[in-house]
Amino acid sequence: MQNKLKMACVAGVVMTLTGCASTVPMGVIITDVNLPIVATAVNSAGTKVGEASCVSYVGMVAKGDCSIEAAKKNGNITTVTSVDWHYDTILGIINNYKVIVHGK
C-alpha cells in the first residue's frame, strides 16, 4: 500500500511539471513582457504602427484576432519593418496578447 502511495505521489509531481515549457518568460504571479517576433531587411523602422490583440481566460476560453495581418490592417501598413508582441497576465487567470507591427 505504501509503495502505491509513493508511486501516486511521484506520478502527480511528474504530471504537474510537464506543461512548464514556455516561449515567454513567465512570472508566477504577474507577467508583463514585450518580445520581438521578426525584423525585415528594410532599413527604416517605419512610421506607422498597427496593433491586434486577443485574450484568454484561465486557459479555457480564448478569443480575438492577434495576427500580423490584422495588425497591418489596423495600422494601414503595406510594408512591414518589424513585428513585436506584448504578453501580460495576472495569476494566469486573464492572459492578454498583443501583436505590434511597425511599417510604412
- The reported pLDDT for the residue numbered 97 is 94
Three-state SS annotation for 26-38:
CCCCEEEEEEEEE
Query: Which residue type is seen at 95?
Result: N
Using a 10 angstrom Cβ sphere, with 0-12 exposed, 13-18 middle and 19 or more buried, the burial of residue 77 is: buried
- Rounded to two decimals, the pTM is 0.71
- The reported pLDDT for the residue numbered 54 is 95
Residue 15 resides in a domain: no
Q: In which domain, by residue range, is 34 found?
A: 25-103
Dist CA 60 CA 82 (whole Å) = 31
Residue 84 resides in a domain: yes
- The reported pLDDT for the residue numbered 25 is 72
Residue 17 resides in a domain: no
Residue 3 resides in a domain: no
Residue 14 resides in a domain: no
Rg (CA), the chain: 19
* Number of compact structural domains in the chain: 1
From first to last of its 104 residues, what are the pLDDT tens digits of the chain? Answer: 777 777 776 666 655 555 555 666 777 788 888 888 877 766 666 789 999 999 999 888 999 999 999 999 999 999 999 899 999 998 889 999 999 999 99
Residue 16 resides in a domain: no
- The reported pLDDT for the residue numbered 42 is 67
Residue 7 resides in a domain: no
Residue 11 resides in a domain: no
